[in-house]
């Protein structure tokens, strides 16, 4: 009896192993509503704001480009939205790690095919890496194949085994390795014969859709400039992507994306049932959608405040003001910056500028990355909350205790406490944030000259290097980043180009805290253990919080709205700005 059981077990494990070698099973828990009736076909109708610019994955630079939409459902590893962990995806098994966590050997699944039926092999990964890293191509992904300026190298072991060598250990390694492979038989061939120029000439908007080849869920069916792009399912993709009952994915036949240059028209199309989901920008969008649902003209799912957005809004002070010694001294004084944080009335900003739909922020880590935030707060990372009395006390320590006739603070020499603050004109939310900040500052006697200016002029001020950079303070925002190591490699280390508060020609740190933050940044990036890395992040947050080089303000919230004809969304608790509200592969039309 025991023998039979063992045999049966061995057999089932054997088949399971064989199956897992060739297919990836999408967990049942990734959807709130599994497609048990096996409904197939239909079209997912999406909308987007800016026009599609290119079919070419190497020259495209947009966030929601055609190559990125086609490439979804590819990559060696993928993140599980339940716990953020990377699991093997195009990889057949977890990577074999050696050489002090710097070498990763990955076996890829056999039997995966591009949409033209050609096998996906290691050559496709190698070629993609080569072309992305050629600076003559100008790929936006180039920097993701470098660590601290040193290249990551790929090596072919055999047709289905690939080796990555990292210049140093990195927690982001699995994410870095998870790029989309593009066909070597198209791009590699062109690259070998004509170099970067030949690659750039491939897959322009004039290329017929039938010649476009995709490794992912979707491939191009048709493209109409400025109007609509239609994707059809890559039938070969279902060979290795199955749902938990073993059915081929995706369920849908088609996904279309309509271009709207006007956000109101986009919302109108959603309310009219012409598109299935649109982003909810603000309270007004939510109210209109709610009204349409309530009066019965729209059957849709609506969830307000699903999570914070993965963005930040902040004020940075310029420490490099050799031309104005008084201001330089002021901006470099931690008490001044803490006072400024006490002045920021974040609750009023959420209420007035974001219509109540936002989250106050105190750290560079976006509030959506809850685990890191929690670790930081637990480690005692400070929050200098709205407190005008405390702000006045700190400013008095700096010598600003008397007010002049206009009600502004001045020091013993009669110098008024004032500075210029700019943001990019036209961004109404930032303009309101700046006004609220300036109004509150006036209450304690700080004169803030707030002026929205042209975006490009603002950016060149912010990214200027040198001992006398051309601004006092700037209100701006950043987005982009991962939940693995949620600190910016262009932001935290001294000398990096978005280290906005202190950027002298030499790129040197000015304070010991900056040095510590730079050290912690690289230490955390090199730590593979999640808990230990989070602990390092917590220390980094604590140091950053105490130094207050940048005053973080508020972040808008992410809301979910989609037409109820769609099924297969995430459980409501799993929806957030990082993962969205569904995987297209598990989406079906009811």
Taking the least distance from each CB to another protein, the nearer of 445 and 477 is 477
Nearest to 233 by CA among 493, 584, 590: 584
- Of the candidates 178, 274, 264, 246, which has an alpha carbon nearest to the alpha carbon of residue 24? 246
CA dist., res. 257 & res. 255, Å (int) = 7
Residue 136 tokens read as 């003559």
Judged by CB under 8 A, does residue 380 bind another protein?
A: no
CB of 58: closest distance to another protein in angstroms? 9
Contact call for residue 271 and another protein (CB under 8 A): yes
Residue 180 CB contacts under 8 Å (≥ 6 apart), including other chains: 57, 67, 68, 71, 74, 75, 128, 215, 216
Stretch in the footprint of another protein (CB under 8 A) among 13-21, 325-333, 451-459, 527-535: 451-459
Site for another protein contains 456 (CB under 8 A): yes
From 68, 269, 396, 510, residue interacting with another protein (rule: CB under 8 A): 269
**Nearest residue to 122 (alpha-carbon basis) of 92, 174, 159:** 159
Supply the minimum distance, in Å, between the C-beta of residue 34 and another protein: 27
Q: How many CB atoms lie within 10 A of CB 155?
A: 13
Tokens of 575: 């929806």
Residue with smaller CB distance to another protein, 259 or 304: 259
428 binds another protein (CB under 8 A): no
| Residue 34 token pair | 């599994």
Of the candidates 23, 31, 59, 121, which one interacts with another protein according to CB under 8 A? 59
User: Length of the chain, please?
Assistant: 590
Query: Binding of another protein at residue 51 (CB under 8 A)?
Result: yes
**Residue among 83, 193, 295, 412 that touches another protein (CB under 8 A):** 295
The whole-angstrom separation of Cα 367 and Cα 73 is 27
Residue closer to another protein, measured from CB, 98 or 274 = 274
Residue 157 corresponds to which tokens in the numbers above?
A: 């072991």
Helix ranges restricted to H, 273-365: 283-294, 325-332, 334-343, 346-353
**Given strand 96-98, what is the order of strands in its sheet?**
96-98, 103-107, 161-165, 153-158
The residue count for binding another protein (CB under 8 A) is 65
Residue 146 token pair: 């470098």
Q: Provide, rounded to whole angstroms, the least separation between the CB of residue 149 and another protein.
A: 8
| Rounded Cα–Cα distance for residues 267 and 221 (Å) | 25
Q: Looking only at residues 465 through 484 of this chain, which bind another protein when binding is defined by CB under 8 A?
A: 476, 478, 480-481
Report d(CA 520, CA 547) in Å as an integer: 14
Rounded to a whole number of angstroms, the minimum distance from the CB of residue 271 to another protein is 6
Q: Which is nearer to another protein, 15 or 497 (CB)?
A: 497
> 204 vs 451, which CB is nearer to another protein?
204
Per CB under 8 A, residues contacting another protein are: 43, 45, 50-51, 53-54, 56, 59-61, 135-136, 138, 140, 142-144, 146, 149, 200, 204-206, 221-222, 224-228, 230, 256, 258-262, 264-266, 268-269, 271-272, 274, 295, 297, 454-457, 459-460, 462-463, 476, 478, 480-481, 488-491, 497-498
């Amino acid at each position: 009896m025991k023998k039979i059981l063992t045999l049966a077990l061995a057999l089932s494990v054997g088949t399971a192993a064989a199956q897992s070698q060739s297919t990836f099973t999408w967990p049942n828990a990734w959807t709130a509503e599994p497609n048990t009736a096996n409904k197939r076909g239909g079209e997912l109708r999406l909308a987007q704001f800016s026009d599609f610019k290119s079919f070419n994955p190497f020259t495209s630079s947009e966030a929601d480009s055609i190559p990125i939409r086609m490439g979804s459902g590819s990559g060696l590893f993928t993140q599980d939205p339940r716990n953020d962990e990377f699991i093997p995806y195009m990889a057949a098994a977890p990577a074999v790690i050696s050489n002090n966590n710097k070498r990763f050997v990955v076996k890829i699944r056999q039997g995966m095919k591009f949409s033209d039926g050609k096998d996906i092999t290691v050559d496709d990964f190698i070629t993609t890496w080569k072309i992305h890293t050629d600076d003559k191509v100008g790929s936006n992904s180039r920097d993701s194949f470098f660590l601290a300026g040193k290249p990551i190298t790929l090596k072919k072991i055999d047709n289905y085994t690939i080796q990555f060598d990292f210049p140093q250990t990195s927690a982001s390694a699995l994410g870095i390795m998870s790029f989309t492979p593009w066909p070597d038989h198209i791009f590699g061939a062109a690259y070998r014969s004509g170099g970067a120029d030949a690659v750039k000439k491939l897959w322009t908007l004039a290329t017929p859709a039938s010649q476009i080849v995709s490794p992912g869920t979707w491939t191009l069916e048709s493209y109409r400039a400025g109007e609509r792009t239609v994707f059809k399912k890559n039938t070969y993709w279902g060979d290795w992507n199955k749902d938990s009952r073993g059915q081929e994915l995706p369920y849908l036949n088609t996904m279309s994306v309509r271009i709207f240059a006007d956000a109101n028209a986009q919302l109108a199309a959603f309310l009219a049932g012409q598109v299935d989901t649109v982003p909810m920008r603000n309270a007004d969008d939510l109210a209109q959608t709610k009204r349409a649902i309530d009066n019965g003209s729209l059957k849709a799912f609506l969830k307000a405040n699903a999570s914070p957005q993965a963005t930040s809004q902040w004020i940075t002070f310029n420490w490099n003001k050799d031309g104005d010694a008084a201001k330089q001294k002021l901006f470099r004084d931690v008490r001044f910056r803490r006072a400024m944080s006490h002045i920021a009335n974040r609750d009023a900003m959420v209420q007035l500028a974001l219509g109540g739909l936002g989250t106050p922020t105190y750290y560079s880590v976006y509030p959506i990355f809850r685990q890191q935030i929690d670790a930081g707060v637990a480690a005692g990372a400070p929050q200098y909350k709205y407190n005008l009395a405390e702000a006045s006390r700190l400013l008095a320590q700096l010598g600003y205790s008397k007010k002049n006739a206009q009600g502004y603070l001045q020091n013993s020499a009669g110098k008024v406490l004032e500075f210029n603050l700019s943001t990019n004109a036209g961004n109404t939310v930032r303009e309101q944030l700046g006004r609220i900040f300036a109004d509150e500052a006036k209450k304690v006697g700080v004169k803030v000259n707030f002026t929205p200016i042209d975006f490009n002029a603002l950016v060149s001020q912010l990214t200027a290097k040198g001992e006398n950079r051309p601004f006092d303070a700037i209100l701006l925002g950043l987005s982009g980043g991962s939940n693995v190591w949620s600190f910016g490699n262009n932001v935290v280390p001294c000398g990096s180009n978005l280290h906005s508060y202190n950027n002298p020609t030499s790129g040197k740190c000015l304070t010991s805290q900056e040095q510590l933050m730079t050290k912690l940044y690289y230490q955390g990036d090199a730590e593979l253990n999640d808990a230990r890395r989070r602990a390092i992040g917590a220390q980094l947050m604590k140091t950053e919080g105490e130094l207050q080089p940048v005053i973080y303000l508020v972040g808008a919230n992410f809301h979910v709205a989609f037409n109820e004809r769609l099924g297969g969304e995430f459980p409501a608790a799993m929806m957030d700005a990082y993962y969205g509200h569904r995987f297209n592969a598990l989406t079906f039309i009811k």
